[in-house]
A and B are shown apart, each in its own frame.
Chain A
């Protein structure tokens, strides 16, 4: 069912103009699958295919992320995405990532509790997808808002879908924009209301 898996790992040790950083690794794993609704027109009940396909894909993706990043314990942030081939509906991608058959499997595999941030798109093979990730147990942790870019040169074909799970071992390199606590200490919101 999975035609191809692509795992990309970025290990960042310096930022342009700013010099060395604490090393951080972020990764995305992408699975290329046949769109199970291809050629069937409008299918009203998407759940049977979701239940059959999404858990297996989520397991394959999280296994690769854990292996690439040093296990679930080393992962601090996660995200997900779907890229639908040009003959499919956006709803096909949404169906496969926005259900417990995908999200709960990811949370369980990566020891997370947060809602999982996502992106989706439709495009030709080779479309680059920017996948957001945020903290796996405290989604509002500002230092961990970041993205991982992934691209599979030969996918999705028009009747395929690329499903992605992404993760990071830490926050952004050189994160230093504070958080909500430091904001309220220095900013009076009433000064900025119209």
Chain B
């Protein structure tokens, strides 16, 4: 894995709708900018070997840093894979849609559910929204949320931007009726 930089973003929301958010709503996002391991190789049929090599390296790095940046238990989580303009969507998908990536985060967050994801091909500086859902029950409506991030100089055409996001609670001032009340 050829790493160029790691970007960490922490958002703390203290008020929403004019009312205090207590405890403070925190979201941590950690993004790794790496060289696309398939860059310059044309259409590669079997992505498996490089997924096996790179996905665990990314998973380990990002899971530890995301939990560290959050500074407490995660109640909701999600992931992102953004592909530079010379790559295929399948390149980022390959690295994030594997247990070899996601299980590092599940273990670190004591989580069991599928990780919601954003995947897209985009220029450097593109804004993207990382969806998050509850770490053990994806039907818990209060925890459906997303966070917007962008890295000004990444991904370059031959790069991938791979990231994780975690929130310490549901949406600030969440007050919707639970799913069960509509069934």
Query: With contacts A14-B5, A16-B4 known, what are 11 further pairs, Cβ within 8 A?
Result: A5-B14, A6-B12, A8-B7, A9-B9, A11-B7, A14-B3, A14-B4, A16-B156, A128-B150, A128-B152, A149-B152
A1-14 interface bits toward B, Cβ cutoff 8 Å, 1 = contact, 0 = none: 01111111111111
Is the CB of A153 closer than 8 A to any CB of chain B? yes
Expressed in whole angstroms, the minimum distance between the Cβ of B132 and any Cβ of chain A is 15
> Which residue of chain A has the shortest Cβ distance to B34 in the bound complex?
A14
**A151 contacts B by Cβ under 8 Å:** yes
Whether B148 is near chain A, meaning CB under 8 Å from some CB there, is yes
**B2 and A14 form a contact (CB under 8 A):** yes
Min Cβ gap A36→B in Å is 15
30 contacts between A and B (CB under 8 A): A4-B11, A4-B12, A4-B13, A4-B15, A5-B10, A5-B12, A5-B14, A6-B9, A6-B11, A8-B7, A8-B8, A8-B9, A9-B8, A9-B9, A10-B5, A10-B6, A11-B6, A11-B7, A11-B8, A12-B4, A13-B3, A13-B4, A13-B6, A14-B3, A14-B5, A64-B10, A68-B8, A126-B127, A153-B148, A153-B149
Interface residues as binary, B147-170 with A (CB distance below 8 Å gives 1, 0 otherwise): 011101000100000000000000
* CB within 8 Å of B: which A63-84 residues: 64, 68
Q: Given the known inter-chain contacts A9-B8, A16-B4, please indicate yes or no for A3 contacting B156, CB distance below 8 A.
A: no
Q: Which 7 A-B pairs have the closest CB atoms?
A: A153-B148, A9-B8, A5-B12, A11-B6, A14-B4, A7-B10, A149-B152
Q: Kindly list chain B residues whose C-beta atoms are within 8 Å of the C-beta of A7.
A: 8-10, 12
With a cutoff of 8 Å between Cβ atoms, the chain A residues found around residue B16 in the complex are 3
Chain A residue numbers with a CB within 8 Å of B9 are 6-9
Q: What B residues does A6 contact at CB under 8 A?
A: 9-12
Give the one of B2, B9, B127 with max A CB within 10 A: B9
Would A153 and B127 be within 8 Å (CB), given that A4-B14, A11-B8 are in contact? yes
Closest to B71 in A: A67
Using Cβ atoms and an 8 Å threshold, which residues of chain B touch A68? 8
List the A side residues contacting B156 at CB < 8 Å: 16
Interface residues of A in 40-87 (CB under 8 A from B): 64, 68
Report the separation of the CA atoms of residues A7 and B9 in the bound assembly, to the nearest whole angstrom. 6
Once the chains are docked, how many angstroms separate the CA of A62 from the CA of B127? Answer: 27
Say yes or no: B7 contacts A10, CB within 8 Å.
yes
A-chain residues with CB within 8 Å of residue B11 when the two chains form the complex: 4-6
A residues near B3, Cβ cutoff 8 Å: 13-14
For residue B35, which residue of chain A has the nearest CB?
A14
Task: Report B-chain residues with C-beta under 8 Å of the C-beta of A13.
Answer: 3-6
A13 to B2, CA, bound (A): 10
A9 and B2 CA atoms in complex are apart in Å by: 19
A3 touches B14 (CB 8 A): yes
Q: Collect the chain B residues with CB atoms within 8 Å of residue A151's CB.
A: 150
